[in-house]
Structures are given as C-alpha cells and as structure tokens.
Structure 1
Amino acid sequence: MNNGVLFIISAPSGCGKTSLVKALIKKVENLCVSISHTTRQPRSGEIQGKNYFFVSKDEFNKMKSSNNFIESTQVFDNNYGSSKQSVQDLLNSGFDVILEIDWRGFRQIKQTFSHSVGIFILPPSKVALEERLTNRGQDNKGIINRRMHDAVSEMQHFNEFNYLVINDNFDVALNNLSTIVHAERLTLAQQSNKYQNLLKTLI
C-alpha cells in the first residue's frame, strides 16, 4: 500500500482553518483529519471522537508520559495532543492525513515525520481577523483580545512552513489547499512508490 502524506495545517484562531479543512475533506478523496486529544470542554455541537477525543488532564498526562503523542501543546490553558499510533496507522493504510496544529506542534512532528508538509493560513488583514473572531460569537471581548495578541505571535512563524495560503476569499483558499494536496501526491517520491511495478517494466 502506498504510504500517505502527512499535512500540517496551521493558522491563528479565526482564520477559517477548521471550515477550510472540512470543505477540503469533502472536495478531495482519500484525505482525512487526525482527531486530536484535548483537555478543553466540548463546544456546542462538538462530538466525542469526531471533533476531538475529550479527556481529563490526568488521562492526558498519562498518555504524554507514555510517549503516545507525536506532538502536544498547551493553548489557552488547555492541552492538545496527536496520537502517534493513529496517525501512523492512517498513513500506512494509504490515506493522506491532516493535522490541525500550531507551529510548535509542527516543529515537534518534523522530528518524527521529517517529510510532513506544512501549510500556514493567514488572514487578509488584522482587521478582518478581529471581525471574524467577533462575528462567530464564541468568545467575549477579553478572550478575543487575547486571541488577537497571540495571533500576532503565531503569524511570525509562517516562514517555517512549506506553503502559505491567504484566506481572503474562501473558495480561492480552498482551491489553493486542494492544489497543494494534489501536487504533493505527484512528487517523485510519491509517484515512484505508487508506480514502482510499472517503473520496473519501463526501465
């Protein structure tokens, strides 16, 4: 089975990352999202095992101590982590896998999955970002201010990634993400692995 590609998609809160990834999964076949573990409380409409694996801090710490995560981080007083085994199983099954994590997690993952592909999403402006955070109605003004402050810090790390997408127009950004996925499937390494039997007959 052809091994899949691991895509790391990062963005400051409010850039539309989650909506873009959901649309990308519907648009591109054989692509899935790795479900992360988190200690934060579920938001309205979120489902255990679909959006996240919601666990206690004690359970999370036990998993971390047992080296079960390929990356873990703390965001807004909550912990997040990606299961090493579940990601590897999906890749071994031939699926391309998306992880929605921040730049710190990307740094950690590169140590284990050196060929992972990083995509960073930016807003068209700070004003647009603050409007999106406000309009989604999930956070109070204090939290929005905190998210804006943290966004400035996060955006400084865009140049550590392989690709940069500006989410000014949703459909354009979605097409850009789709193009990146298809391009990575056509690299020499991926194609040589996928068509190794054909290549043996041709060369």
Structure 2
Amino acid sequence: MKNGVLFLLIGNSGSGKDSILNAILSNWSEEITPIKVPKRYITRPSHKTEPFLSVTPKEFIKMKNNNRFSLTWHIYDLDYGVPKIVEQWLSEGKIVIINVSRTIIPHARRLFPELKVVFVKVPFEITLARIKSRGREAENDEMFKLRVNRAKKNQNYPDADIIIDNSGDLQIAVNSLRNYLLSFVQKSE
C-alpha cells in the first residue's frame, strides 16, 4: 500500500468493537500490511476490559493544548484523545483502526477525507446484556443509564461505509471486517 487507510470503528457500548478488533489483530499477518491501533488517552482510571492510557483531566487539557492529538471527543463525562502518531502511520502506508465515538465522524472526515467508517451493529437487547456483563458501571450508576439510553437511540448509522453484524458468532463479524480490510490492501497494490 502506498498510502495508509484510516478505519474508524463505531458502535454502541457493548457492541463488541474491541472483541472484533482483538480477533483481527491476533490473526493478521504483518506480511499483508501492518495494522496499527493507537492506544487512546482517556480521563478515567484504567480498567481490565479496555486497553487505554489513563490521564487526569488536567493532563488531557495540557496534551490537547500542546497539539498531541489527531482527534479528540468528550462523551459520558470523559475526554478521549487519539495520539498524533496515526498521521505518521498513514503516511507510511499502514492500516490504522481506531475505536471512536460516532459524534466525531463529520470532523474526522474533514481531517481525513478518505477514511472509512465501520459500524458494528447489535440489537439493543444484546447490547444491554453485554453492558451489564462487562461490569464497568453499576446498573444504578448514571453513566450506565446514559450508555443504555444512547444505545437504544442509536441502533443504526446510515452513513457507515460498511455495517458489521455482531449479534451472533463473533467469528462471522471478524471475517466480515477482515475481508473488508483486505479489499483495501488489494486495491492499493
């Protein structure tokens, strides 16, 4: 690949974005083309269910003011930042995949016009069960309620470049995304 491709992975909390991505990475050959997944900076304490770099709100603001992020967003009372390294990876011809909030897609498209949006779709009932089972928040917690309400309202994303159904066997969703990624590698060679 001469130029890299940026894929933004979106979907409701509990849709399985990280599970799909981890499965892709564990079986991807670097000989095809490297896939890079930047660790996001998030203003919350570390948690075993998601790899990220924990920073304080004050540290986040300082980093943002020092232009250390390519993309940022604020959701569920948390700040998220994607480090600038993604721009270098794209210039080196790598595939870059980032789990982001759908709220930043219009801004991201202005910065990276060729990006592709991957929407991971899961029926609300499955989403609710997954949010409960991962245990990040108690069910009476305000953040839990916000995630559930947002999932109920956002069951579709018509502007996605591809929709991956992750309501059944994880491997089916993984294969769908893998085939989609491979179609870009083949086009670029």
More helix by share: 1
CA contact (8 A) 2:46 2:53 kept: no
CA contact (8 A) 2:71 2:108 kept: yes
Residues 66 and 95 (structure 1), Cα distance of their counterparts in 2 relative to 1, 3 Å cut: same
Query: Following superposition of structure 1 onto structure 2, how do residues 5-154 of structure 1 map, counting pairs within 5 Å?
Result: 5-29=5-29, 30-44=34-48, 51-84=51-84, 86-123=85-122, 125-143=123-141, 144-154=144-154
Amino acid at match of 1:142: N
Aligned-residue RMSD, C-alpha:
1.8
CA offset digits 1:137-159 (Å, max 9, x no partner):
33211243321101133434x11
CA distance in 1, matches of 2:55, 2:154: 26
Structure 1, gaps ≥5 residues long: 192-203
SS in 1 for 2:140: helix
CA distance in 1, matches of 2:66, 2:153: 31
Amino acid at match of 2:148: M
Paired residues in the alignment total 182
CA contact (8 A) 1:70 1:108 kept: no
CA distance in 2, matches of 1:182, 1:117: 13
Structure 2, gaps ≥5 residues long: none
Residues 59 and 136 (structure 1), Cα distance of their counterparts in 2 relative to 1, 3 Å cut: closer
CA offset digits 1:79-132 (Å, max 9, x no partner):
001123x00122223321111101122222111111011100011x21111111
Residues 155 and 72 (structure 1), Cα distance of their counterparts in 2 relative to 1, 3 Å cut: farther
CA offset digits 1:38-62 (Å, max 9, x no partner):
111101376xxxx222222112112
Match of 1:175? 175
Counting aligned pairs with the same residue, the percent is: 24
CA contact (8 A) 1:71 1:81 kept: yes
Amino acid at match of 1:12: N
Q: Normalization by structure 2: what TM-score? A: 0.87
CA contact (8 A) 1:120 1:164 kept: yes
Moved over 3 A (4+): 153-156
Structure number with bigger Rg? 1
Q: Normalization by structure 1: what TM-score? A: 0.82
